């Protein structure tokens, strides 16, 4: 990955990590507004840069990552009451079940948008690493760690199972299952490959 793209990705991730909580700064928005704590802003940015230059796409991929990491922590409030709930304009506070589903769906959506903005497997590896670094930074000021990390890893997996040109998550699982069930399968495949290359 080129340095300028990495810088754009990191800049976008730093912004995305704090973007949802800008609802604090607007008097017309309540905390955990559906406008900032959902897929809405990342999706608008995605649509805006879809045909733009590479560095804009990398910055938006970073922003989506950052928002996803932020929402992973928002998924674990002490209680699903008050400001822990998603707030929709005109409708007010939504239920705990709605808030939970909304947050999980938004995390998967953000990670999927990231996938769609990347063009190579190397970039994906960098993006996953950046999401983990963002996670570790955000975890410094959060109460939960392992449940939020589990959600981040699971939602990354779910995002890779959705149609994308880079990686097919379900194929990886199938291979892993086959390997666990029959380890000799892997050796057989390796041996037949070596035999083919010797011919």
Q: Which residues sit at the interface with Zn ion, rule CB under 5 A?
A: 20-21, 74
Residue 31: CB minimum distance to Zn ion, A: 8
Closest-CA residue to 75 (of 96, 45, 52)? 96
Cα(128)–Cα(76) distance, integer angstroms: 22
Q: Which is nearer to Zn ion, 22 or 167 (CB)?
A: 22
Q: Which is nearer to Zn ion, 18 or 187 (CB)?
A: 18
Cα(70)–Cα(64) distance, integer angstroms: 10
Q: Which is nearer to Zn ion, 29 or 153 (CB)?
A: 29
Q: Which is nearer to Zn ion, 21 or 54 (CB)?
A: 21
Structural tokens at position 112: 């999927």
Residue 29: CB minimum distance to Zn ion, A: 12
The answer to whether the CB of 122 falls within 8 A of the CB of 55 is no
Residue 5: CB minimum distance to Zn ion, A: 27
Residue found under tokens 């011919």:
199
Residue 1: CB minimum distance to Zn ion, A: 29
What Cα–Cα distance (Å) separates residue 42 from each residue in 1, 79, 87?
Answer: 22, 27, 18
Q: What is the DSSP letter of 21?
A: G
Cα(140)–Cα(128) distance, integer angstroms: 19
Cα(94)–Cα(188) distance, integer angstroms: 55
Q: Which is nearer to Zn ion, 20 or 109 (CB)?
A: 20
Q: Which is nearer to Zn ion, 37 or 57 (CB)?
A: 37
Q: What are phi and psi of 92, to 5 degrees?
A: 80, -155
Residue 107: CB minimum distance to Zn ion, A: 12
Residue 128: CB minimum distance to Zn ion, A: 22
């Amino acid at each position: 990955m080129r340095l300028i793209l990495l810088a754009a990705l990191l800049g976008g991730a730093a912004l995305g990590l704090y973007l949802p909580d800008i609802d604090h700064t607007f008097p017309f928005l309540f905390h955990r507004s559906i406008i900032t704590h959902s897929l809405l802003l990342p999706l608008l940015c995605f649509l805006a840069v879809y045909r733009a230059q590479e560095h804009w796409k990398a910055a938006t991929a970073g922003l989506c990552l950052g928002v996803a990491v932020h929402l992973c922590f928002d998924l674990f409030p002490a209680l699903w009451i008050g400001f822990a709930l998603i707030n929709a304009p005109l409708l007010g506070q939504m239920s705990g079940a709605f808030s939970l589903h909304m947050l999980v769906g938004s995390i998967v959506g953000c990670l999927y948008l990231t996938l769609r903005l990347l063009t190579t497997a190397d970039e994906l590896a960098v993006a996953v690493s950046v999401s983990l670094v963002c996670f570790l930074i955000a975890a410094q000021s959060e109460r939960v760690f392992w449940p939020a990390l589990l959600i981040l890893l699971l939602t990354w997996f779910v995002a890779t199972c959705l149609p994308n040109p880079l990686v097919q998550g379900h194929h990886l699982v199938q291979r892993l299952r086959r390997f666990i069930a029959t380890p000799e399968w892997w050796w057989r495949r390796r041996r037949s490959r070596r035999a083919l290359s010797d011919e």
